[in-house]
Amino acid sequence: MSISTLARDTRVAMKHGGGGRATRSLIGELLIRGFDEPARGFGLSALDDGAAIPIGDGQSLIVTTDSHVIKPIEFPGGDIGWLSICGTVNDLAMMGATDVAGLTCSVILEDGFSLEVLERIHESMVEACRAAGTTVVTGDTKVMGRGEIDGIVINTAGFGFTRRVVRDCTLRAGDLIVVTGTVGDHGMAIMSARHDLGLGMSLVSDVAPLNGLIAAAMRAGGDALAAMKDPTRGGVASALHEMATKSGVGIVVDEPFVPIRDAVRSSCEMLGVDPLQVANEGKALIGVRPEAVDRVLDALHSHTLGRDAAVIGHCISEHAGSVILDTGFGRRLLIESDGEPLPRIC
């Protein structure tokens, strides 16, 4: 699967923002080119959720940034403000920085944007910061002309400190894959709201700050917590592909054990969408050495955001870079979606 998808394109397309192969080739083949690595720690070339810079005393500074665009900007379970805080908090948490020192916030608005809606979005951001135990420490605002931008774009950056940097490239054969809860909730809630599908089901986004949950898992797992990644764009399939490729292992997913809400399962089935390829905003995939898996699961289960946590797969030495789905009937490859089935999920 090393075929360059970028070489065939002459323009940026929606698929380049989908989180799958197209996104990775755009970043890998173009956007990170030419930048030197930081003198210490790791940065862009690791293509992890953020950078880690050692600052002495066994501590590392974790830095990450994320731009948020979503349609609709208010959706069941959250809005763009809530999402913009949680997304960055979660990227920090995935690298072990569960104590978030502070966030920055840049807002770009379209001429004519409703102040009432902006106030609600701002309220959500404040609330999300409280839930994550952090705050916005600096920011920037720009307004663009009508039609020059679609409503609102929010960029947040975050920084935190950790003594234990967790990577997404450190899985070994034998490690177990834990998901911290039900899969596909965010993507299906957005899809249903955006296209007014009227599915008559309670599809609610899972967007939430995960740093508290991850702190509990890290305490319980210690060094046996091997790797982490949040399955956002491209869903579980994309995140596991990335982990498998970077770690040089194969991953077998046991489909019957993947927790999926009934409403998500049936709406996916109706629309022909694979819940494993749908975005999540409040879930983590954790690679755990087998001896620690019970401890980690116990810790997750006793947190409100981790009640549905489950072991969904394991790592093997064969088929490095592949994700294999055991459907319970037979086995097949779990392929990454090449671009978003529907544009701009998050």
Partner 1 sequence: MTSAARLEFRSRETVRELAQRLESVVAAIDHKPVAVMHVCGSHEQAIAKFGLRSLFPEDLDVIMGPGCPVCVTDVPEVDEAVVLARQGVHIASFGDMLRVPGSVQSLTDAESDGAKIHVIYSPRQAVDIARSLPHEQVVLFASGFETTAVATAALILERALPPNLSILSSHKYIPPVMEIVAEMPATRVEGFLAAGHAATITGWGIFERFVERHQLPVVVAGFEPADIMAGLVELATLVRDRTPRVVNMFPRCVTREGNIPAQQQLWRVFKPTGGRWRGIAHIPNGNLRLRDEWAHVDARRRFEIDLTSLWDYAPPQLAADCICGDVMAGIATPADCRLFGAECVPDKPVGACMVSTEGTCRIWQQYGGPRVVLRTTA
Q: Which of 147, 272, 291, 304 binds partner 1 (CB under 8 A)?
A: 272
**238 touches partner 1 by CB under 8 A:** no
Query: How far is the C-alpha of 14 from the C-alpha of 323, rounded, in Å?
Result: 25
163 touches partner 1 (CB under 8 A): no
Helices (H) and strands (E) in the chain, counts: 8, 14
Nearer to partner 1, 81 or 250 (CB): 250
Q: Give the residues across from 159 on adjacent strands.
A: 63, 102
Nearest to 127 by CA among 86, 73, 96: 86
Instruction: Decide if residue 318 touches partner 1 (CB under 8 A).
Output: yes
First-to-last C-alpha distance (Å) of the chain = 25
Asked if residue 328 binds partner 1 (CB under 8 A), the reply is yes
Distance from C-alpha of 312 to C-alpha of 250, rounded to nearest angstrom: 14
Of 9 and 99, nearer to partner 1 (C-beta) is 9
24 is a site residue for partner 1 (CB under 8 A): no
Q: Find the shortest distance in angstroms from Cβ 205 to partner 1.
A: 23
Span of 110-118, 124-132, 290-298, 335-343 interacting with partner 1 by CB under 8 A: 335-343
Binding of residue 330 to partner 1 (CB under 8 A) = yes
Q: Which residues touch 95 (CB under 8 Å, ≥6 apart)?
A: 48, 49, 50, 52, 62, 64, 162, 165, 166, 167, 228
Choose between 15 and 303: whose C-beta lies nearer to partner 1: 15
Q: How far apart are CA 12 and CA 1, in angstroms?
A: 21
* DSSP state, residue 335: P
235 near partner 1 (CB under 8 A): no
293 part of the interface to partner 1, by CB under 8 A: no
Q: How many residues bind partner 1 (CB under 8 A)?
A: 29
Q: ∠ at Cα 158 (156, 161), nearest 5°?
A: 175
Q: What does the binding site for partner 1 look like in residue numbers (CB under 8 A)?
A: 3, 5, 8, 15, 22, 250, 252, 256, 266, 272, 274, 314, 316, 318-319, 322, 324-333, 335, 338-339
